[in-house]
Amino acid sequence: MRIHKEGFRVLLIVLVLFGAICALIWYYLGNVALCIAIALFTPLYIFMLRFFRTPKRVVNTDLEKVLSPCDGTVVVIEEVDEPEFLKERCIQVSIFMSVWNVHINWFPIMGEVVYHKYHPGKFLVAWEPKSSTLNERTSIGVKRSDGVQILFRQIAGYLARRVVCYTSKGSNAKQGEEMGFIKFGSRVDLFLPLNSTVKVNIGQKVKGTQTAIAVIPLK
């Protein structure tokens, strides 16, 4: 299992901290207490290793498909007004990422990053509808070669208090390429043109780079 670069520092700090705690426990309380501490810590550390895992996935690119930007569960499919970038009526598809999901984010389409903005904010639970506009988030707009534009947001949640984005305005967006990471439970919103054909349902489990969220016809 490969570990994502965002996990190296966290995992090292936790390991060193636990090593120091174990040394103190052994010194003051003896071997039995040390064994109990190790038994309690080991599952937690395995969970953290799993959280920061990097899966191996083959991406089959398709200009018309919008691939899932993350692993998770579809929690919203609705028509909304998107005032930040698209500034028009569109289809919102929201995906909730639990602590058990891979937390890497990938580009859902191919094109150019034409909009990028970080918004500081609150840390409401990620499934709360208002988290889309009130929580800490990063908004990324991508424009396809035929002029079609979509917006997607990385949204921090109650536990996820750090959104990491690797792209910037003017960068090339390669479908299925890693573009960011959200730490510990979060959400990603997609805003698509009204002529998109949504291919998922509310409650459906999706896999980043593998599940087609929608199809947007080429112009």
Q: Which residues are catalytic?
A: 186
- Those residues whose C-beta lies under 8 Å from the C-beta of residue 164, and which sit 6 or more positions away, are 6, 180, 181, 182, 183
Find the radius of gyration of the CA atoms of the chain.
20
Q: How is the chain split among helix, strand and coil, in percent rounded to 5?
A: 25, 35, 40
Whole-angstrom distance, CA of residue 185 vs CA of residue 70: 12
- Those residues whose C-beta lies under 8 Å from the C-beta of residue 80, and which sit 6 or more positions away, are 89, 90, 91, 92, 191
| Residue 50: alpha-carbon gap to chain centroid | 15
Residue 151, H or E segment? strand 149-156
